[in-house]
Structure 1
């Protein structure tokens, strides 16, 4: 095969195929003269022939079991065109389920041959698993050209819509997504409404995305009572479901699109709340969804934050409020979906139920500010999905219960306060006002601060009495040696599967380094059986990265650990867990065991040093270590409470009313 015909693969692709790290592949290349020569790329980013790489890996025993999917994917990527590779994946999925089905004429001869190989592999390795693998790699490759809805957000939107509707039955539901993309929202609706007889309708003007959505839903609904109809069209200009009334509708409309059909749709009957301005395409999608809801049906649409406040859309927003169609607005943390840099919003819409009066069912709107559940500086990993979902659903449970107590961050705003010159429905504008402390809360907060300061002073007094003998020699040993001696066992956390979500049943919380850099609470869940490192109460956890280095004794429920987190389980006859955590927590210990000086460097946990002391002396040290940890915790509590008091009192002073 000539180099022009060869399928190129990078070092990272070779590492994926062999199931090793990229450094290992670079090492093979340096040490083995027989390693394939570069056929393209540069010295920094070389590319190699897939066929030559596969042959070399086989001959050198680097492939214990060939990963057929990994070997197949570079050939899809080599097709060059996003549409060619996407259609080939969709056709392969169809052939996996129906081997005798006709092949699309849109496929090139090369894509057709590759599709047949993929279908054959899928039938032997698992059709759905093979399709999901190829789809995920396709999405990762073309991430800059596509706007997708993350699975956790799609699941949240589907659950909100299902809970918000009034009337109807759970046995038979019609679901509509008029801009379905690759089908994340439609798939989430099928999963959230499991057990119901569903009719899933979708529109997508990109034929490749429509084909992939159809393939995804075919696998997801196999064996279920679900009918699907995915049309290739522009739903605003050419609506194929104009007579359909859906129970729920979900939509993540195209972002920042100005050519949505303003001129040709000026007299469309869907604009019952007013003709959407040219610069407000999202309000066209909102009215499109409402036009397709049955009485009492609910819709959830993802919109940019400016839609809540732009001057051009105030008349339509006012009409949506007065009619009761707009029931709630949820402000999401930045990073929840593309574009990641802004705090997107969920608008919860509902059609008036049968027999309802012309006016709204209530005289207020629920505004929910969930922006605090974001992860600072970790945009790609998304927000704390589990916390975000729990908080949002708990707030929206009160949608039709005006007397219910709202969680902090949610507020009911009377329509009279919203229907002003701006008609601004941005949650943060109102939730901050609602969070002001009452006359009884502020004195209680000062009392709490006083108690914390007293407790902090007691800890400081005790710790100030500690004496240290600088010339007393002390011997240490490493964690690695303690493992060899059987004094403890060491397990490493691992990355969860991409895009995986787990329900509460049969799953455990997942703690990652990103969680430690924010509020320290686990931000996700994983199936218990898929987690190689689960810490139990009494285990020691170590964060093996310099920027988040810490060690502590776990005192919560069983929790799975992500990458760069380690679980140490001690033999209580040889080691005290709190003593071990205290020794490991020393900042100098982490620096000495670090691989290099940058904040992103790893810490070699096996090189961390621990004092060699008898168990009785360990217990005395452990008591002091715990006192020091309590002092640190109180210090943090005082700081948090103090900052809150300063903010609250400053707001109250600025509003006036101080008595002398």
Structure 2
């Protein structure tokens, strides 16, 4: 289809946001309502619709969400620009215009001068909306939507990690007094790390030093956004953001030393200037190989810190906290540079983070804590392993990974930096690290994070014995079952047919409005929110206030489960079905609630039929790696209620067996790990 240019177009996802429903609901509307707007562009797989026609249709059918305010209607117009940079200039333009109205004028880099009238019109509309929606709220809304739309192109540092990096830098630097505290980020992106620095050091006390935030990035649009963001949110700081190639343009005379550097530099670069920077004066510890761009960034950052003074005040010459891939600590090509950094006392600490702390979420990244070289460098390096600092949330599917426990990470790292005796940390003499490999990976040196005490060992054996007993009892109830020889009389019926016969009702989950969602431990007056697909950026369990959850269930926007409901996860890789037996839970994307008529269907029997893997394969779309399962195409046996109940009772016992075996597996893993650690430490003895 050819895209029309005289109107704003929106995708199915944008329509779903306007209506406050899931995308599947919008697809259903297209099939059910003949007057649904026709596509005006896009493709068959991703059609686009005229925004005006969509809004008129939603209003006509009373499907505009109560939460779909002016900003929800503005965003499709911004998104219709299509280009990442044009959209970013609108976001930056809004921030620049809003900060211009502030009484305190700051040096925040070049303001936005939009080249196109369409961008200027959107900025004008956003400024008008900010008068009623709130300046900070309007800017953050557009910024979050822009980053979410281009999440694969723009890497950001999660706020929890950014706050930790600033706190580490503050702890290592101490209270060394300066009239102006300069915090720099030579690869600032959208300014998240500099914003965390502003929150760390911009206190309300008049005695606090003036804060100067110095940012740079090679992407001019990102620097515009960062400058606008910092001008709005770092109201106590002086801001300077520039756009140039950090490594190449910094060759020659070095700038004045800075006090703090927080940086998440680009990784695995090949075209970073290896040849033209061969004789650069920053390579004090060795010229970085072409494959070690990260060590080029490390040496550049160290050069920004200058040198510690002769008075040898800790942190007096500057401190840096840098996020790096784990391979930088061990790759053979960087061994000589790592050795040079160690001998100069530049590397103060290396912290191994849990996987999922920052993109790429499947890798456990490292934090390097660096200090300016001093006349009398310290002779030890602190290595901290926090890879085990995780929550263990209730699982929706077997593929769900535990979330990062940021409180545990913070406590362990800061206490170790203060000299505390923390499991998972070790202070190693520099001479012990200078060897054939010069490997700074914390897991290779740090003590086991979990020290097994005699009481722990007794408790593990007690849990293990209880788990074995429960598994034996559950298995005994199933041991006498045998394989039936004749099943010719067992026909099947689809879920769609059961729904049509009113034997059950289906309610599909949807995306919960973000302002309703809380994260962390679920309180007594909260309801857990389940989602079928796991986002590795999510660090805490989502939940919603009970009153809001019950209201959403009454309005039909989100399904709330109750005892006896059958829940189905409708993704091929995470497919599962179970009967709810615990507290009510709210269902998000890719989950479905089936509420049966107990006079016609047994829920345990239905769940047993639906969860069978071959059933899911037959009902799957198989369109991509994230294939979905059409729950209405799932099949169940056609049996009288009495036989259903008999089969359902067997399924109950099978679930009990699965739970008991899972508990034995968990306890057995902990027990094996603890015994192995004691054995390796020579702490096991016979009775």
1:38 aligns with 2:51: no
- Contact 1:176–1:202, Cα closer than 8 Å, also in 2: yes
1:200 aligns with 2:226: no
Which residue of structure 2 aligns with residue 164 of structure 1? 172
1:11 aligns with 2:12: yes
Residue among 213, 217, 229 paired with 1:216: 229
> How much has 1:235 moved relative to structure 2?
2.9
> How much has 1:317 moved relative to structure 2?
1.2
- Contact 2:517–2:544, Cα closer than 8 Å, also in 1: no
Q: 1:15 to 1:64 in 2, by over 3 A?
A: closer
List per-residue Cα deviations over 1:145-196 (Å, max 9, x = no partner).
Answer: 2222233332333333333333336997542211111122222333455636
1:636 aligns with 2:666: no
- Aligned positions of 1:213-612 closer than 5 A: 213-221=226-234, 224-239=235-250, 242-246=255-259, 248-293=260-305, 295-296=314-315, 297-351=318-372, 358-360=376-378, 362=380, 365-370=383-388, 384-387=402-405, 389-400=406-417, 402=419, 404-407=421-424, 410-431=425-446, 449=464, 453=468, 495=512, 497=514, 512-513=530-531, 523-524=540-541, 532=549, 544-545=568-569, 547-550=575-578, 601=629
Q: 1:629 to 1:402 in 2, by over 3 A?
A: farther
> How much has 1:447 moved relative to structure 2?
7.8
Q: 1:549 to 1:23 in 2, by over 3 A?
A: closer
Q: Distance in 1 between matches of 2:141 and 2:667?
A: 47
Q: 1:562 to 1:351 in 2, by over 3 A?
A: farther
Q: 1:384 to 1:88 in 2, by over 3 A?
A: same
Q: 1:26 to 1:425 in 2, by over 3 A?
A: same
1:179 aligns with 2:187: yes
Q: Distance in 2 between matches of 1:378 and 1:306?
A: 33
Q: Structure 1 length normalisation: TM-score?
A: 0.72
> How much has 1:455 moved relative to structure 2?
7.3
Equivalent position SS for 1:406: coil
Structure number with greater CO (CA < 8 Å, separation at least 6) is: 2
> How much has 1:269 moved relative to structure 2?
4.3
List per-residue Cα deviations over 1:370-414 (Å, max 9, x = no partner).
Answer: 4877999999x9975551x1232232133345561415xx44444
- Contact 2:464–2:667, Cα closer than 8 Å, also in 1: yes
Which has the larger displacement, 99-108 or 497-506?
497-506
1:48 aligns with 2:49: yes
Equivalent position SS for 1:144: coil
Equivalent position SS for 1:301: strand
Which has the larger displacement, 176-185 or 143-152?
143-152
Which residue of structure 2 aligns with residue 129 of structure 1? 137
Which residue of structure 2 aligns with residue 476 of structure 1? none
Q: 1:522 to 1:259 in 2, by over 3 A?
A: closer
CA root-mean-square deviation: 6.0
Equivalent position SS for 2:272: coil
List per-residue Cα deviations over 1:219-246 (Å, max 9, x = no partner).
Answer: 323xx42222212223333359921422
Which residue of structure 2 aligns with residue 486 of structure 1? none
Q: 1:532 to 1:462 in 2, by over 3 A?
A: same
Q: 1:531 to 1:549 in 2, by over 3 A?
A: farther
Q: 1:187 to 1:498 in 2, by over 3 A?
A: farther
> How much has 1:596 moved relative to structure 2?
8.8
List per-residue Cα deviations over 1:522-570 (Å, max 9, x = no partner).
Answer: 9346686996379xxx999986537354567669xx9998667899xxx
Which residue of structure 1 aligns with residue 559 of structure 2? none
Q: 1:424 to 1:530 in 2, by over 3 A?
A: farther
- In structure 1, list runs of 5 or more residues that go unmatched: 467-489, 568-579, 613-623
- Contact 1:152–1:385, Cα closer than 8 Å, also in 2: no
Q: Distance in 1 between matches of 2:123 and 2:114?
A: 12
- Contact 1:277–1:312, Cα closer than 8 Å, also in 2: yes
> How much has 1:323 moved relative to structure 2?
3.5
List per-residue Cα deviations over 1:445-480 (Å, max 9, x = no partner).
Answer: 6687567646766887899999xxxxxxxxxxxxxx
| Aligned pairs, number | 620
Which residue of structure 1 aligns with residue 197 of structure 2? 189
- Aligned positions of 1:144-159 closer than 5 A: 144-159=152-167
Which residue of structure 2 aligns with residue 21 of structure 1? 22
Equivalent position SS for 2:88: helix
Equivalent position SS for 2:376: coil
Q: Structure 2 length normalisation: TM-score?
A: 0.69
